[in-house]
């Protein structure tokens, strides 16, 4: 874990809503309890994605563009270059070595995170995709290549973070999605709690539905912030 990160920035809220107006309403509701926001494909398909990016920056928020670039390397490089200078902290790449190199070469002031294995996948899904190895082996292999090609970090489940730290040390950031503070009954399979994520080596956690769908999103976010502070203190 990287200790220089302010505790309250370690919580990234996934703004998985259909429109910028709904996203803005959630941001306002959460107030100072969340200062880092992930904007994914659902919002990208709505009008006003980059207007929302600018609005968040004006409010002093940090931004994670989670579009998981996967295309011809030259196209990936040009797409990543478009993000530079917009005040974006993270962007994701979900591709092979050439795509990662292209993203890193074009990143400017944006930090590139390589997606390892989606938290909605498990061993049976990897069998379907033709991977003849376990999840942990695949995650470590992808992370090793990401670090080698200059990515700033990886997106990885909390189940594999400990192995990543053991294999690769602290040379890179780990952003962990699939955080479930309570019982999980959705499509995420490889999930962990807040304390487990940080005990296993995460630098940041991404939380979406447990906050978004709560009766009191602001209260849940504040509870998670308290859990983060305690977890980081314990490390």
Active site residues: 68
The token duo for 206 is 């991404």
Stretch (H or E) spanning 144: helix 135-148
Q: Over 150-204, what HEC string results?
A: CCCEEECCHHHHHHHHHHHCCCCEEEECCECCCCCCCCCCCCECHHHHHHCCCCE
Nearest to 55 by CA among 23, 83, 91: 23
Angle (deg, nearest 10), helices 158-168 and 135-148: 50
Q: Let me know the angle formed at the C-alpha of 17 by 60 and 119, rounded to the nearest 5 degrees.
A: 95
Residue 150 near residue 178 (C-beta atoms within 8 A): no
Q: Which position has the token pair 């807040």?
A: 194
């Amino acid at each position: 874990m990287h200790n220089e990160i302010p505790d309250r920035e370690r919580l990234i809220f996934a703004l998985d809503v259909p429109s910028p107006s709904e996203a803005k309403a959630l941001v306002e509701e959460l107030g100072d309890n969340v200062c880092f926001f992930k904007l994914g494909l659902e919002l990208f398909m709505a009008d006003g994605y980059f207007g929302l990016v600018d609005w968040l920056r004006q409010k002093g928020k940090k931004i994670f563009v989670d579009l998981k670039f996967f295309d011809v390397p030259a196209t990936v490089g040009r797409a990543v270059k478009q993000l530079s200078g917009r005040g974006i902290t993270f962007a994701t790449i979900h591709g092979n070595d050439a795509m990662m190199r292209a993203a890193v070469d074009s990143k400017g002031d944006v930090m590139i995170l390589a997606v390892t294995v989606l938290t909605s996948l498990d061993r049976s899904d990897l069998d379907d995709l033709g991977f003849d190895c376990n999840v942990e082996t695949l995650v470590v292999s992808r992370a090793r290549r990401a670090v080698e090609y200059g990515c700033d970090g990886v997106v990885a489940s909390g189940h594999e973070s400990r192995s990543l730290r053991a294999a690769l040390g602290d040379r890179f950031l780990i952003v962990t999605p699939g955080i479930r503070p309570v019982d999980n009954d959705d499509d995420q399979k490889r999930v962990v709690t807040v304390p487990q994520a940080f005990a296993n080596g995460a630098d940041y956690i991404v939380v979406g539905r447990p906050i978004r769908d709560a009766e009191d999103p602001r209260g849940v976010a504040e509870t998670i912030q308290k859990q983060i502070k305690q977890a980081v203190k314990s490390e």
